[in-house]
């Protein structure tokens, strides 16, 4: 199942995203780099800071750019493909080879 956390849809998206990270430590997320390229990260990516952080710990909301989360990389790949986007990697926080 894909969970979407997006400030444009939900003013509590940042807090809900952080809760999802805490509850799904083995999960993954897509961060949009452009409309056709989404970058894959693990939920414990250090660039996102600690999952216990609140909105006040950041200058900008973590979900100012929508975050698409799932427990499965393949599900996220299909999700991106359906939207005409490619998943890019290797990322710094996960071993992933783009096709």
Stretches 8-16, 64-72, 76-84, 85-93: which one binds Zn ion (CB under 5 A)? 85-93
Q: How far is the CB of 92 from Zn ion (least distance, A)?
A: 5
Question: Are 31 and 1 within 8 A, CB to CB?
Answer: no
Is 45 among the residues that bind Zn ion (CB under 5 A)?
Answer: yes
DSSP class per residue in 7-22:
TTT-TTHHHHHHHHHH
Is 41 among the residues that bind Zn ion (CB under 5 A)?
Answer: yes
Is 76 among the residues that bind Zn ion (CB under 5 A)?
Answer: no
Residue 45 or 85 having the CB closest to Zn ion: 45
Neighbours of 81 (CB within 10 A): 11
CA dist list (Å): 39 to 10, 16, 53, 83:
22, 20, 22, 14
Stretches 7-15, 37-45, 66-74, 75-83: which one binds Zn ion (CB under 5 A)? 37-45
């Amino acid at each position: 199942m894909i969970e979407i956390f997006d400030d444009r849809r939900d003013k509590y998206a940042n807090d809900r995203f952080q809760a999802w990270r805490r509850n799904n430590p083995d999960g993954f997320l897509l961060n949009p780099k452009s409309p056709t390229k989404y970058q894959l990260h693990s939920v414990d990516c250090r660039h996102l800071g600690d999952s216990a952080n609140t909105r006040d710990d950041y200058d900008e909301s973590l979900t100012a750019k929508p975050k698409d989360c799932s427990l499965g990389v393949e599900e996220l790949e299909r999700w991106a493909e359906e939207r005409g986007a490619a998943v890019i990697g290797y990322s710094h926080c996960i071993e992933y080879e783009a096709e």
